Amino acid sequence: MPDLSPLDKAKFAAAKRAASFVEDGMRVGLGTGSTAAWLVKCLGEMVREEGLRITGVPTSARTAELARQVGVRVVSLDEAKWLDMTIDGADEVDGDLNLIKGGGGALLQEKIVATASDQMIVIADVSKQVETLGSFPLPVEVIPFGWQTTKVLVEEALIGMDVLGRDAGLRMDGDAPYVTDEGNHILDLHLNRIGNARQLSLVLNQIPGVVENGLFLDICDILVIGHGDGRVQVRDINEGSVEEGRLDFLETNNLFDDILD
């Protein structure tokens, strides 16, 4: 294992533990983001060294590219039709395993893939746990046509919501608007605190021009939290169980060297 920061160790520990849930022959949704990238690398190592046979359904073009690089067979969701599980990261997760996702810009495909799965496992470092969602800006994917009008409608809708902030900003990629894999834009809502996530999600998705929002409610089944010292906590909301463990970091050369960025 290369010389990792505590944060990278936490992400790797969560990803490594989550990879142990994957069994031969499974169809697995592959998330997007830095923690999910560790997971893809772990699965690639299992494919190469243990002969694991799985089919991966990526949630973004960059995840698909990484999966192919490490030897994971990739197909589309239409080809797979239904998945055994999806493993993905999160920007925030509360005590009920509700999430904010979309910091990496892939929330639409991530939500479609997650809901087409028998089980969703979320991997995260301990810093992503919060009492109440909302400190992380809530991403809302909108179509480019009339996005400024959509932004105004979103801001007006927020007036009646239980939130502390109401600023909405268009996500940029340099000097141009950020464009998702589906060709859409993203509004980041700086809400600070979301008092009623369920109500907010319903209201946002009724606004013309809004494609989907980054609130993932009642979707996550298992949360795997990694710590910088290698400790891992696995919480299963359906079983009502919490499991503690530890991953030993070994000084070995492996697939993970090139993922550090």
Evaluate whether 90 touches 122 at the Cβ level (below 8 Å): yes
Backbone φ, ψ for residue 155 (5° rounding):
-65, -35
Please report where in the chains the tokens 């997007």 appear, as a residue: 32
Cα 113 to Cα 215: distance, rounded to the nearest angstrom: 14
- Provide the residue ranges of all domains of the chain, joining segments of one domain with +: 6-128+218-259, 138-213
CATH of 6-128+218-259, one of 1.20.1050.140, 3.40.50.1360, 3.30.565.10, 2.60.40.1250: 3.40.50.1360
Report pTM: 0.94
CATH superfamily of 138-213: ACT domain (3.30.70.260)
Decide if 110 is catalytic: yes
Q: Which of 23, 65, 92, 110 is catalytic?
A: 110
Cα 156 to Cα 77: distance, rounded to the nearest angstrom: 35
Cα 127 to Cα 100: distance, rounded to the nearest angstrom: 13
In one-letter notation, the amino acid at residue 242 is V
H/E stretch holding 148 reads helix 147-158
Binding site membership: which residues? 32-35, 88-91, 101-104, 128
Binding site membership for substrate: which residues? 32-35, 88-91, 101-104, 128
Within 10 angstroms of residue 147's Cβ, the number of other Cβ atoms is 18
| Per-residue pLDDT of the chain in tens (261 residues, 90 and over written 9) | 568 899 999 999 999 999 999 999 999 999 999 999 999 999 999 999 999 999 999 999 999 999 999 999 999 999 999 999 999 999 999 999 999 999 999 999 999 999 999 999 999 999 999 999 999 999 999 999 999 999 999 999 999 999 999 999 999 999 999 999 999 999 999 999 999 999 999 999 999 999 999 999 999 999 999 999 999 999 999 999 999 999 886 544 455 555 444
